[in-house]
Structure 1
Amino acid sequence: MTPLNGEDEVVELCGDLIRIDSTNAGDNSGPGERKAAEYVAAKLADVGLEPQILESDHGRANVIARVEGADPGRDALLLHGHLDVVPFTASDWRHHPLSGEVADGCVWGRGAVDMKDMDAMILAVVRQRLSAGRKPPRDIVLAFTADEEAGGNYGAQWLTENHRHLFDGCTEAIGEVGGFSVTMGAQDGGSRRLYLIEAAEKGIAWMRLTAKGRAGHGSMLNDENAVTELAEAVGRLGRYEWPVRLTSTVQAFFDEVFEVEVKAEDAEAAVAELGLLARMIGATLRNTANPTMLAAGYKANVIPQAATAHVDGRFLPGYEDEFFQTVDELLGPNVTREFVYHDVAVETSFTGPLVKAMADALHEEDPGAKVVPYTLSGGTDLKAFSRLGIRGFGFAPLQLPPDLDFSGMFHGIDERVPVDSLRFGVRVLDRFLDYC
């Protein structure tokens, strides 16, 4: 087989994946991931692997493959990426979100950063290595999953519950939302480049709140109005100022970035100095509970018997009990809550050979790089894989232009990834696999 060049392939792979519609609105009504899974499986089979396509439901497809390492007696490494993307309104975009178009030095489209870019980089590196007969030092398990954008019930969660044997030997993993660069002081001409590696994720508590009262005519007195009860509870919860809690990963981020101790009372002022990064890091200083939906009634002159609301809750590692205790106090005795979706927070130490491999690979490509851990305010498939005892990080390496609002691309309009960043990521991932 003629050796392939991953840097040459990665842009094409990314564009091809973006052009495959795999939108996921969370109600199992979309096109599913089957076409994307078939594309990925074919690319892996081209270089001698035997990928499996596993469907959890019609069209909800996952791809699993194992790459044999030079020393199969070592623990295996999991590389995972999801194939689904969030919906979009095409008229809002400068380039159609399913175009995969290359313009202004970027690949445009839904999934360009979340996370078909990383899928493409994994494919490019694996194809490059195997076409040249280069085995990784240890076994690599590749997992391209369905349904990450809706919690993974058809993807990583389903795989770990029904096909956990496919991950036998895996003790460590890398996935999305980490390894990207942020240039500190870019607005003032600064050039200090940080690479953020995700070492922790907040937990998720999507909750449905319900207040029940006494139905009646809207013209009459009613001191058991479910709408009033719910509105007051939602107001208390939405306006509550959660206390700052510096977890070990957040504290380590501050220590590395500012090189002085940042205390809880100074954390918000420190975040304000982070420029485009402030939005992402600011959400990791405290638990959050944001009301997102309200529903009640069916006619203007009828007081309904019940009213409901939805809340997106996120809790820091180690603070789940405090989070729910506070939520219940704020809701009061007349409003109940139930989970729409609930998942754990995860956190690991930023030490060990895998961390060194990530840092060394970045330094080889960018000698001025400063590698720092951070906490992700959202969640990834790592939560599911952590239940198998797998220690994971977010590491999808990209060197980004200083003025690119990368965090704003996630689920936003005009999502795009620079071509040069993709090529950089291929080089870093290739070195990383040599070092790990």
Structure 2
Amino acid sequence: MADARDAGVKAEDEVVDLCRELIAIDTSNYGDHSGPGERAAAEYVAEKLDEVGVEPAVYESHPGRSSVVARIPGADPGRAPLLIHGHLDVVPADAADWTHHPFAGELVDGCVWGRGAVDMKDMDAMVLAVLRQRLREGRTPPRDIVLAFLADEEAGGTWGAKWLVDQHPELFADCSEAISEVGGFSVTVAENRRLYLIETAEKGIAWMRLKARGTAGHGSMVNDDNAVTELADAVARLGRHRFPVQLTTTVRTFLEEVCAEFAIPFDEDDVEATVARLGTVAGMIGATLRHTVNPTVLNGGYKANVIPGTATAEVDGRFLPGLEDEFFAEVDRLLGPKVTREFIHHLPAVETEFEGGIVSAMSQALMAEDDGAKAVPYCLSGGTDAKSLQTLGIKNYGFAPLRLPPELNFSGMFHGVDERVPVDGLRFGVRVLDRFIDLS
């Protein structure tokens, strides 16, 4: 690898090595206070920024849970800064399940393989590569850029974005807009036509613990107040319930754009047929048509012949933007009077309008590198650090641009095995981000 401090090093050349080196730092997040890998990754990023004259600050919310924040001055200090943020942690991976070791960062078949290749060390690498080149060349952005490489996103951001927003809001308070992960990737419509999905909305998160109470007793006796039975009935009602389709502004706009591209009428009574045309991303988009609740954990009892007094379960609820109250009302109806709920994790839904100068900048940057590109808004079924940052009034967009081969099941690799990102996609993303910064 060439010396990164050499002004001749180009972002398109450097991005692959940066991505591989980041993947090789195991930043697995198990949802507890561990995180030595996050500290190592934060120090790596801080060093890469320091090499090109940026003075980063490392913030540690808990031993090993480290985030990096830096500010790059722009040409117009009177404009509100642009926030570009990414997370350094990844979900765990079992090497036995993978074709190539998840923390080796191998380059095979034109792709960089490993945990984090798409979620989201690819974007971290693209941002580093672009800004390192710009700084080496003395190219000033139009406005200040605030960079944030964050800990703990994969467990809700408690020790990363949320902690920084709570403890150091001044770092981001003057930012008007932000870009980050899970957006800007292509979906092929035809040979010379691709939709680039810009994330402008996210479903809310409600991880809940359910509890049923009953009368404890001997397993041989008749018991009409069995906590396990009550809980099992409630969990089954939740798990089998199918919420109705409800089209939010973002989802409706997305479906209208898809129908226009496929030259089919927009049938509001059969939107799932439209989603089915989307191939590998159909599952991700389909989950944004309605609220969802999925049971994930059951606990009750400690011995086969003892009826316990309590039983618990955990469920993963996701609610649509603007419809949180009705979601919980329906959940409570399904649970019934004998089962209570409490939050394990509760984060709001997010929705931002798809308009304005920043959206125009995304569209122009994409079309400059792909004349078959069209940017469209979509809603993410999961969640990102945007949930914490939006509390400061920052408009968040998922924009980690990648032009992908049509056969690649990109959405299926988030938290999946054999996660990988095409090298050509990384290089494309670098070019688009560089143009976007100039236009934003």
Question: Taking structure 1 as the reference length, what is the TM-score of the superposition?
Answer: 0.98
1:19 aligned residue: 24
Unmatched 5+ stretches in structure 1: none
Say whether the 8 Å CA contact 1:23–1:31 is kept in structure 2: no
Structure 2 partner of 1:426: 430
Conservation of the 8 A alpha-carbon contact between 2:16 and 2:426: yes
Q: 2:370 aligns with which of 366, 369, 386?
A: 366
Deviates more, 1:77-86 or 1:19-28: 19-28
Aligned to 2:418: 414
Of residues 66, 70, 92, the one that matches 2:71 is 66
Q: Distance in 2 between matches of 1:274 and 1:85?
A: 27
Is the 2:57–2:70 contact (alpha carbons within 8 Å) kept by the matching residues of 1? yes
2:3 alignment partner in structure 1? none
Deviation at 1:263, TM superposition (A): 4.3
Q: Tell me which residue corresponds to 1:291.
A: 295
C-alpha distance in 2, partners of 1:56/1:39? 18
CA distance in 2, matches of 1:30, 1:217: 45
Aligned match of 1:87: 92
Query: Match for residue 56 of structure 2?
Result: 51
1:78·1:142 contact (CA, 8 Å) conserved in 2? yes
Q: Could you tell me which residue of structure 2 aligns to residue 180 of structure 1?
A: 185
Q: Contact between 2:7 and 2:133, CA under 8 Å: does it hold in 1?
A: no
1:193 corresponds to: 194
Corresponding position: 1:319 with 2:320: no
| Structure 1 match to 2:126 | 121
The RMSD of aligned alpha carbons is 1.0
Q: Partner of 2:135 in structure 1?
A: 130
- Once residues 271 and 66 of structure 1 are traced to their aligned partners in structure 2, the CA distance between those partners, rounded to angstroms, is 40
Q: Name the amino acid aligned to 2:67.
A: N
* 1:123-176 CA-partner distances (Å, limit 9, x unpaired): 000100000000100000000000000000000000000011111320100000
Amino acid paired to 1:279: G
State which of 350, 353, 361 in structure 2 corresponds to 1:346: 350
Give the corresponding residue for 2:340.
Answer: 336
> What is the percent sequence identity of the aligned residues?
68
SS class of match (1:311): strand
Give the alignment partner of residue 76 of structure 1, picking from 81, 85, 94.
81
Q: SS in structure 2 opposite 1:33? A: helix
Find the partner of 2:36 among 16, 31, 43.
31
**Mean Cα deviation higher: 258-267 or 426-435:** 258-267
CA distance in 1, matches of 2:195, 2:108: 26
1:262 aligns with 2:263: no
Q: Is the 8 A contact 2:35 2:65 kept in 1?
A: no
1:96-111 map, 5 Å: 96-111=101-116
Give the Cα separation in 2 of the matches to 1:216 and 1:371.
Answer: 61
- Contact 2:173 2:392 survives alignment (8 Å): no
The residue identity in structure 2 corresponding to 1:354 is I
Residue 217 of structure 2 is aligned to residue 213 of structure 1: no
- Structure 1 contact 255–262 (Cα < 8 Å) conserved: yes
CA distance in 1, matches of 2:340, 2:274: 37
- Equivalenced residues, count: 432
Q: Is the 8 A contact 1:242 1:288 kept in 2?
A: yes
Distance 1:119 1:261 in 2: 39
Give the structure 1 partner of residue 15 of structure 2: 10
Given that 2:99 and 2:418 are in contact with CA atoms closer than 8 Å, whether structure 1 keeps it comes out as yes
**Contact in 2 for aligned 1:214/1:224 (Cα 8 Å):** yes
Is 2:41 the counterpart of 1:41?
no
1:31 deviates by 3.1
- Name the TM-score, length of structure 2 as normaliser: 0.97
Aligned match for 1:160, one of 157, 162, 165: 165
Q: State the Cα distance separating 1:261 from its structure 2 match.
A: 5.8
8 A contact 1:86–1:149 mirrored in 2: yes
